[in-house]
Amino acid sequence: MFELATTDAASHMVSYHQAVDQAICQAKQSLNVVMDRTQWQDHNLFMVSLVYQNRAISLY
């Protein structure tokens, strides 16, 4: 049996904010912000992400 590690929402948000802060502080050039809109069934989804090291970090 595998045991899943449990983390609370507060510690997850701290690591998330640290990743965003690191991306912004270490940027030696302009930062890329990506916007995406997707229609899924009757929902309109909108995402804004910061691109850092070929990864998208969701902002909104």
Domain annotation covers residue 48:
yes
* Structural domain includes residue 41: yes
Q: Model confidence over 22-45: pLDDT tens digits?
A: 777 776 777 788 999 999 899 999
> Cα separations (Å) of 57 from 2, 24, 35?
29, 11, 12
Average pLDDT over residues 2-23: 64
pLDDT computed for residue 28 by the predictor: 72
Contact 20, 50 (CB under 8 A): yes
Q: Domain for residue 58, yes or no?
A: yes
The answer as to whether 19 is a domain residue is: no
Question: Which pLDDT belongs to residue 26?
Answer: 75
In a domain, 20, yes or no: no
Q: Which residues constitute the domain of residue 37?
A: 29-60
pLDDT for position 2: 43
Residue 1 lies in a domain: no
Q: Does residue 38 sit within a domain?
A: yes
Number of domains in the chain: 1
pLDDT at 44 (0 to 100) = 92
Q: What per-residue confidence (pLDDT) applies to 58?
A: 84
Sequence-distant (≥ 6) Cβ neighbours of residue 35 within 8 angstroms: 46, 47, 48
From the list 45, 41, 42, the residue with the least C-alpha distance to 58 is 45
- Asked whether residue 3 is domain-assigned, the answer is no
